[in-house]
Amino acid sequence: MRVELAWVDALLSRWGRWALRCESGALGFASCSIMAGSGDGDGFDTAIPLGVLDDDMERVDGAVRKLPKILRLTVLEVYQFGQGKSDRKLAASLGIDRTTVEKYICEAHRQIALDISIPYRQNHAQSVNGGTTPARIQPASA
């Protein structure tokens, strides 16, 4: 599948696993596991993936929830339920063709990137000054 924003794709792949764990009653990624072994590769590594925080996943989750319904359903199918499915099977499960799936994923990537890149709206004072911070008012001396 063609991906326009690779960093959003990687983030959504991590989010997909995180969201499935949350839905199953777990809260995000596990911090440790009794199955983890001694770190020599004999067990599973269920710790948080490097560079990922639960807060980051919550921001991604919020961005996914804000998507229009068809984009949200496409993202859920591709990143949560479609792990290991071919593009053809993903498209069939959504009832649309592969090019439409790609179009929806690219649009979802753009909207998610915008939503998580700008978490706060610009306040009015900053927009009036052309994006600069307002000048500091000096207190009157006595």
Q: Please, what's the b/e burial string for 103-139 (b: 16 or more CB within 10 A of its CB; e: otherwise)?
A: ebbbbbbebbbebbeeeeeeeeeeeeeeeeeeeeeee
Please report the pLDDT score of residue 82 as a whole number: 84
Q: Is 64 exposed, middle or buried (0-12, 13-18, 19+ CB in 10 A)?
A: buried
Mean pLDDT of 130-136: 47
Q: Closest Cα partner for 19 from 76, 73, 86? A: 76
Task: Read off the pLDDT of residues 102-128 as tens digits, 9 standing for 90 and up.
Answer: 999 999 999 999 998 865 555 444 444
Mean pLDDT of 40-54: 48
Please report the pLDDT score of residue 129 as a whole number: 45
Task: Read off the pLDDT of residues 23-38 as tens digits, 9 standing for 90 and up.
Answer: 665 554 444 444 444 4
Residues contacting 31, CB < 8 A, separation 6+: 47, 48
Model confidence, pTM? 0.63
Percent of the chain predicted with pLDDT > 90: 39
